[in-house]
């Protein structure tokens, strides 16, 4: 039986890695590239992604406390206290929403693929 990673999980995990790399803005193009690479990465573990361009709009509307529209088709993180504690709290909230309950092997693949797309 095939398991599915929905668009919110996909985008949320990409944003976690972007924030870990110090990014404050993420392009829609990078998110779509992440999905393309993730499809082939997860295929061997019998996972599929449920992602479309509509997933981006839905994410923006569903999670306004995490992201807001950026310039040139992108997301910007909602401002948080620039002190390390503020960033860590924000990151923990993202993880609680988009990684809690996922298998560790899936989180590792999401993280490594996002790192690859972000140039890590």
Residue 35 in contact with residue 51, Cβ under 8 Å?
yes
Which tokens belong to 21?
């790399």
* Banded model confidence at residue 84, pLDDT cuts 50, 70, 90: low
Which tokens belong to 108?
């590792």
Q: Enumerate the H helices of 1-120 as residue ranges.
A: 7-20, 28-43, 53-62, 84-98, 104-117
Express each pLDDT in 49-71 by its tens digit.
999 889 999 999 999 989 998 88
Largest CA distance in the chain: 45
Q: How far apart are CA 81 and CA 98, in angstroms?
A: 21
pLDDT above 70 (res 120): no
Mean pLDDT of 89-111: 95
* Mean confidence (pLDDT) of the chain: 91
């Amino acid at each position: 039986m095939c398991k599915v990673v929905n668009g919110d999980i996909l985008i949320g995990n990409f944003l976690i890695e972007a924030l870990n790399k110090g990014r404050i803005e993420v392009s829609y193009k990078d998110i779509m590239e992440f999905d393309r690479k993730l499809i082939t990465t997860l295929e061997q573990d019998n996972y599929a992604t449920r992602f479309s361009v509509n997933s981006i709009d839905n994410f923006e509307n569903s999670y306004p406390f995490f992201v807001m529209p950026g310039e040139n088709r992108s997301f910007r993180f909602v401002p948080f206290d620039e002190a390390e504690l503020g960033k860590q709290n924000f990151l923990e909230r993202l993880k609680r929403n988009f990684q809690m309950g996922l298998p560790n092997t899936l989180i590792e693949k999401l993280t490594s693929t996002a790192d690859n797309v972000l140039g890590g």
